[in-house]
Every structure is written in C-alpha cells, then in structure tokens.
Amino acid sequence: MSEIANDPTQAGVAVPEKGGARLTLPEIQSLCFKAARGAGMEWGLAEEAAFAARWLAAAGLPGPERLGARIQAGVGAAPEIGSGVWRGRAGGALCPIAAGAALSDRAGAIPPELRLEGLAWPVLILPFLALVAEGCGASVALTWPGGRVTVGPEGPGAGADLEALAGFAEATVEIAGAAGAAPVARQSGRWLSHDDWALLDGFALRTTVPASEKSRAGAGAGNLDND
C-alpha cells in the first residue's frame, strides 16, 4: 500500500524533518488525544490525558513530553483505592491519568491526607489537583521526599520543586490541603522537539487509515448528479 503525502487522514500537523516546532495549546490537546487513543486508552481517559498535557504546557511544563513517555511505557494501572492510600492494581505503576480522573471525580470525598504509591510521571497529576482545588475552594499540596508543589484552581505555584517534579518517572507522593500560592505565568503554546513530536504522532497515526491509490479512486460522488 503506497502512502500519499499530505493526506487528510494523517494525525494532524506534519512532524518537521528535524529540529522541532512550537505547537499551540489546541494543537497539543488534539495531538495528545489522538496519541492516547492510539496507545489504547479508552475515549474518556484519552480526553483526560489530552487535558492534562495542555494544562501542563500552559503552565510551562513538559506535559506532552511526559504523556508521550507514559504511553510509550504502557497505559499503566488503574488505582486500587484504599482508605488514605491508593496504589496501582496488581502491583503495577499507578497511572497518573487514571488516578487524576478518580481524584477529580471524588474531590469532595478525598481524605484530608492521601498517599499515592508508585505514581508514574507524577507531574501529570497536577492538572487534576487543580480541579480538586477548584471543587474544594482551597489549594492542594503535592509532597514527596525532598520536595513540595502547591496547586490552586489557577495553576501550580512557581518554584524549583516544580521543575524537579517534572523529571521523575515514578514517585510516591502525598496530597493534602495547603495555603495558596501565586501561580506561574500561563503560556500560549509549547516548543516540542522532533523526537517528542514524532513519538506522539506515531501513536496518533494508529487512529488513522493511511490513504492509497485504491482508496482515492473510490472516493467522491462518482457519476452521481447531486444538482
């Protein structure tokens, strides 16, 4: 089957041959949704993943990149919800998207202190903490050994620990109420390297059907007169 260049069935904006490019927030959300779907996430969870990637990009954080790393490693385990402790089912790494969605769904019933064990790419849970903060009307703190980040309805507070969190592939974290902090400045888009973009686009293309000469020949109205 021959591939057709610049075909509308492609995942979206074409990946540059080298270097990288800046994507707008809507482009990031669209690409990440398709990538999550291509990686096997069900529709609702893929929407949550795309929301998280966009939210983090708007905060100047590597949301699309960390989502790409997460789906490359596998979708991850849904949370086994216990009293004050959540962990991945069957001992797997806890998926930050599944855990985040569960957190935002239970914002009013979250214990005063909650520990998430073995949370994969924990920076991806920050957008969901913002939803919890909005629902509770108070900021939320995410802590781990040696670091702490505060998240309010408007976004995460600035600080060196925020960048450190973005570098963790897995960590056990604790969530509790906290005093508010001034949020970081919002961004309108994010620069993605060729490799990060290509990784996401590769998963996104799994949701499309590549065009061929045969499919193009069968497209259109043919001899029908629609006038």
pLDDT digits (tens, 9 = 90+) for 81-102: 988 999 999 888 999 999 999 9
Best CA proximity match to 28, nearest among 38, 13, 43: 13
Task: Please tell me the predicted confidence (pLDDT) of residue 2.
Answer: 31
Strands 20-24 and 139-144: unpaired
Decide if 127 contacts 151 (C-beta within 8 A): no
84 C-beta neighbours (distance < 10 Å), count? 11
Task: Please tell me the predicted confidence (pLDDT) of residue 204.
Answer: 96
Task: Please tell me the predicted confidence (pLDDT) of residue 175.
Answer: 95
Task: Please tell me the predicted confidence (pLDDT) of residue 9.
Answer: 40
Run of H or E including 55: helix 43-58
Q: How far apart are CA 31 and CA 50, in angstroms?
A: 8
Least confident residue range of 34-43, 114-123, 136-145, 216-225:
216-225
Using a 10 angstrom Cβ sphere, with 0-12 exposed, 13-18 middle and 19 or more buried, the burial of residue 157 is: buried
| Tens-digit pLDDT profile for residues 184-216 | 999 999 999 999 999 999 999 999 865 545 544
Paired tokens of 178: 């906290």
Least confident residue range of 46-50, 118-122, 205-209:
205-209
pLDDT, average across residues 108-131: 92
Question: Can you give the pTM of this predicted structure?
Answer: 0.84
